[in-house]
Structure 1
Amino acid sequence: MTVTPPGDEAVLLLRLAGPLQAWGDRSTFNRRETRPVPTKSGIIGLLAAAAGRAREDSLDDLSPLRLGVRVDQPGTLLRDYHTVSDYRGRPLPQAGVSAKGVQKPTSPAKHTHVTTRYYLQDAIFLAAVAGPRELLLGLQHAVRNPAFPLALSLLR
């Protein structure tokens, strides 16, 4: 990762390579898709996690950053068949919550939930993030010393 050139504006280069990557796309209930290249929201999320930002923290300073992506190796699409159940044999709760913030059981009772998730296998990208030099220097330090574990796939 590199920050260049001198002056007020700079570019942070990030090499994104791993056995599995997922870059959020449409996610509807039982289906989680991925884009074929890293998304700006995904990169900003990665940078925010590295910097130790909580989910509720503002991203106003990161939103104006500009992103360019070079595909070095496109990878192949992996379809993952996923099942979820409660190890105690209890019915699974609904995804939504009541007005009181309580999850209700599924009706009729469902003991197993099936989902399909998509990942990129063995993809390699070079992401160029452009913006204010001081901000990118701080983000470069954060990526090298992340506050939270960083992952190229969705941990869900």
Structure 2
Amino acid sequence: MREAIKYGPAKLLPGEQLHIAASVDTEPFWQAAKEHRLTACQCGNCGHFRMPPTPVCPECSSFERNWPTLPGTGTVFSFAICNRNPANGEPYVYVPVVVDLDGAPGARLISNVTGCNAEDVEIGMKVTIEWTPINDGWVLPNFRKA
């Protein structure tokens, strides 16, 4: 019988290792993050949400886009427990998650979760946004157990 692995508290990757490469399609998301506002791309014609943002709505082919402010909460759809820093291979526990965003049906955001032990993260867990400053004045949306 295998013994359960104990990971301890989930952390965020150090901010100095992260860089944002915004495009014309993602810039509104990242600018809102600088203001500590969570948003998602919504079709201005049919209302369909899409993340990551794309120039054309996959539902109705419209180029119209809105960027509504979301409540900053969600539900863990999927996750992984990682135990090595991807930049240098050193031991480092972090938990990347895919979050179903409240207020944006169908939109999911890939992020990290903190505020609990890594082994306590589970699908269906409620999370709330927290903002982490990183390089070049950008702010990264992360989630904490609600």
Q: TM-score, normalised by structure 1?
A: 0.25
Q: Which has the higher strand share?
A: 1
Q: Which has the higher contact order (CA 8 A, sep 6+)?
A: 1
Q: TM-score, normalised by structure 2?
A: 0.26
